[in-house]
Structure 1
Amino acid sequence: MVSALTIRPATDHDGDAIGNLIKAVFSDYPGCVFDRHGEFPERDAIASSFAADHGHIWVVEDAQSRILGCLGVTYSPAIGKAELHKVYLDRATRGQGIAQRMLTTALNWLGQTHVDCTDIVLWTDIRFEAGHRFYEKCGFTRTGETRDLDDLSVSSEYRFAANPADIRARIRQS
């Protein structure tokens, strides 16, 4: 139930729970391997890691304090651009508006903290088709850029980009 879920800033102590969430999401996709030490070393101090990159990360938790979602954002002051990271939501909570609430939380933080932010980008695995539809619904456009990662999942990713104002407008419409 949406009302029983809370979005709060993540702490460094949330790293293992965020890792468990990502591992569960990866298990929904054939070939996605969760490589905790090789690909997610920031989990040891996840909030501090995002803060070091002029960013922030949030989690969604239920009444039992289980982490069911996360979304992080970093910011590059030199170019005025933000990047979304670690956008994951437990299968049971999808389709309830939680991802939009997380994205709105990040947009509000960016608007207060980095008022000169002109663009938001993200990279997402080509297998995460439901995520692609969500990003497009929220106003992101696939740029045509792709990249291959040197990871255990042999991942390829699409790049998406949007203007923060366009995202806000699309979220309000939905």
Structure 2
Amino acid sequence: MTEITIRPIQEKDNKEVAEMIRHVLVEKGAPKVGTAYEDKALDQLFETYHKERSEYFVLLEGDRILGSAGISPLDNGDPKVCELQKMYFDPSARGRGLGMQMMKTCLDFARAQEFQVCYIETLPSMKAAQKLYQKTGFDYISDRMGDTGHYSCTIFMKKELN
């Protein structure tokens, strides 16, 4: 059995992570506009998350990237609020408990950065993701927080990090 590791993104991971995320978005039938698909940051995640109170993690099986997710302060939001961003998994990673491992890594990082609330947006069609978020303590909220630019994402959730 190949070892599973989660570590901060490295510059050399940028291309592989962007390809994996775009593949998942297409697979899930997500719109290419108003989602992470068109984010300029998607092709330079290492550089994008190389700032204070931010980290982007990759999940590897051996040396193959099977998933990724990041934590960053919520744009134009309360400084006590972070956003769980760009959490995607290759189909081969799903149903194995790896999403739960990634969530723990991200939320532990958020707490260490003294965030008090974690926010996430997703698409209505991403039911498995919503189930994972609920399982880890996220609740649905009616209004968007901050300014993510992802106007196609219409499901909003948050979790208190106490």
TM-score, normalisation: structure 2: 0.82
Post-superposition offset of 1:124: 0.6
Post-superposition offset of 1:44: 3.9
Post-superposition offset of 1:14: 1.4
Alignment partners' CA distance in 2, 1:150 and 1:49? 15
| Partner SS, residue 24 of structure 1 | helix
Q: Identity of paired residues, percent?
A: 22
Are 1:48 and 2:51 matched, yes or no? no
* Runs of at least 5 residues in structure 2 that lack an aligned partner in the other structure: none
Given that residues 9 and 59 in structure 1 are in contact (C-alpha distance below 8 angstroms), is that contact kept between their aligned partners in structure 2?
Answer: yes
Q: Which has the higher contact order (CA 8 A, sep 6+)?
A: 2
Given that residues 121 and 153 in structure 2 are in contact (C-alpha distance below 8 angstroms), is that contact kept between their aligned partners in structure 1?
Answer: no
Given that residues 13 and 45 in structure 1 are in contact (C-alpha distance below 8 angstroms), is that contact kept between their aligned partners in structure 2?
Answer: no
Given that residues 56 and 68 in structure 2 are in contact (C-alpha distance below 8 angstroms), is that contact kept between their aligned partners in structure 1?
Answer: yes
* Runs of at least 5 residues in structure 1 that lack an aligned partner in the other structure: 166-174
Are 1:164 and 2:161 matched, yes or no? yes
Q: Against the structure 1 CA distance between its residues 136 and 38, is the aligned structure 2 distance closer, same or farther, given a 3 Å change threshold?
A: closer
Match of 2:73 in 1: 75
Higher share of residues assigned helix: 1
Match of 2:106 in 1: 106
Given that residues 23 and 34 in structure 1 are in contact (C-alpha distance below 8 angstroms), is that contact kept between their aligned partners in structure 2?
Answer: no
**Which of structures 1 and 2 has the bigger CA Rg?**
1
TM-score, normalisation: structure 1: 0.77
AA aligned opposite 2:156:
R
Q: Root-mean-square deviation (CA), in Å?
A: 3.0
Alignment partners' CA distance in 2, 1:75 and 1:25? 24
Post-superposition offset of 1:49: 0.9
Query: Following superposition, which runs of at least 4 residues in structure 1 exceed 4 angstroms of deviation?
Result: none
AA aligned opposite 1:49:
T
